[in-house]
Amino acid sequence: MALKLADYKTNVHNDWCPGCGDFGIVNSIQMALAEMNIPRHKASIFSGIGCSGKTSHYINVYGVHTLHGRVLTFAQGAKLVNPEMTTIAVGGDGDGLGIGAGHFVAAGRRNIDMTYIIFDNGVYGLTKGQASPTLKLGEKTKSLPTPNTNYNVNPIGLAVASGFTFVARGYSYDVRHLKDLIKAAVEHKGLAFLDVLQPCPTYNDINTRDWYAGKDLMEEAQQRHSRIYKLEEHEFDPVVHYSEESELNEKLSQALIKSLEWGNKIPIGVFYKNEIITPYTGRLEDKIPNYRENPPALQKISRDGKPITDVSKLLDSLEV
């Protein structure tokens, strides 16, 4: 039976601030799951700590609200024990690119077949708006007493350099486009990263909805233009088509160059896509031939109410 959008919603009270970009991201995930008709028992959402951490409470699939900076470790482990599960990890830019930055890089190297979405708003919203890793040097939001003293992390550039094989950026107020990006990320064979620009109206008064819409900008024709434009509308081809080093280097380079574009023109869409690189699960199958048919999640752990595995030796070895 086909599931509807409403089937992916929960009754949990939502306590995000009015106008928060988080709403658009959650709606986009729900729309993507509904359009792909993914059964709820075959999808799981893992969230980190921060405002975005509530996401796993608001989507009616399996979910775990994990630890600060550790969402990728939970999600990767879950995907490995149950490779048929559609697995999506979410978190803020502070969570994923601050305390979680080491896991971000390590995950890119593994290329496990799942999706990671960062809610990128430039502040630590849950703890009153301190500067987070994506806030630019010298910017002073209304929540900061002085301008930011650190350079920012470039999430797209870091993902490309770390080995993510699908790297894209969306905008939380362009829900249909974001939904299509999420579908493409979930369908991608490998680790997909989505950096979602998400205005925080409560603490970030620089990167606002009006700012992204370019309300402060005037072209020569005295007309405003949105800062945001879509790569796919500008003949940008992010796909690595052949296993030739020259093409790979060209696609990596153009993604990195595009990732530096910011200010009056901000690209969204897919920056890089490479399905030629084997996902980690594929490499596991080379080592464990029946991994797909008999992954850990399907293995019996008890018989007649008694555990099959004898851990007494292990417990004895832990005695002090």
- By CB under 6 A, residue 96 contacts ligand SF4: no
Whose Cβ is closer to ligand SF4: residue 14's or residue 243's?
14
Whose Cβ is closer to ligand SF4: residue 171's or residue 280's?
171
φ, ψ at 88 (rounded to 5°): -125, 125
Whose Cβ is closer to ligand SF4: residue 14's or residue 299's?
14
What part of residues 257-316 is at the interface with ligand SF4 (CB under 6 A)? Answer: none
Q: Which of 76, 202, 274, 281: binder of ligand SF4 (CB under 6 A)? A: 202
Whose Cβ is closer to ligand SF4: residue 199's or residue 279's?
199
The region of 154-162, 197-205, 282-290, 295-303 touching ligand SF4 under the rule CB under 6 A is: 197-205
Query: Which x/- pattern over 48-67 shows residues binding ligand SF4 (rule: CB under 6 A)?
Result: ---x----------------
Query: Which x/- pattern over 142-171 shows residues binding ligand SF4 (rule: CB under 6 A)?
Result: ------------------------------
The answer to whether 283 and 277 are in contact (CB under 8 A) is no
- By CB under 6 A, residue 201 contacts ligand SF4: yes
What part of residues 210-239 is at the interface with ligand SF4 (CB under 6 A)? Answer: none
- By CB under 6 A, residue 125 contacts ligand SF4: yes
Whose Cβ is closer to ligand SF4: residue 15's or residue 233's?
15
Q: Which of 121, 154, 165, 281: binder of ligand SF4 (CB under 6 A)? A: 121
- By CB under 6 A, residue 203 contacts ligand SF4: yes
Least separation in angstroms between CB 171 and ligand SF4: 15
The answer to whether 103 and 72 are in contact (CB under 8 A) is yes
What part of residues 12-51 is at the interface with ligand SF4 (CB under 6 A)? Answer: 16-17, 20, 22, 51
Whose Cβ is closer to ligand SF4: residue 173's or residue 271's?
173
With helix as H, strand as E and coil as C, how does 206-246 read? CCCHHHHCCCCCCCCCCCCCCCEEEHHHHCCCCECCCCCHH
Whose Cβ is closer to ligand SF4: residue 69's or residue 94's?
94
- By CB under 6 A, residue 8 contacts ligand SF4: no
Q: Which chain residues interact with ligand SF4 by CB under 6 A?
A: 16-17, 20, 22, 51, 121, 125, 200-203
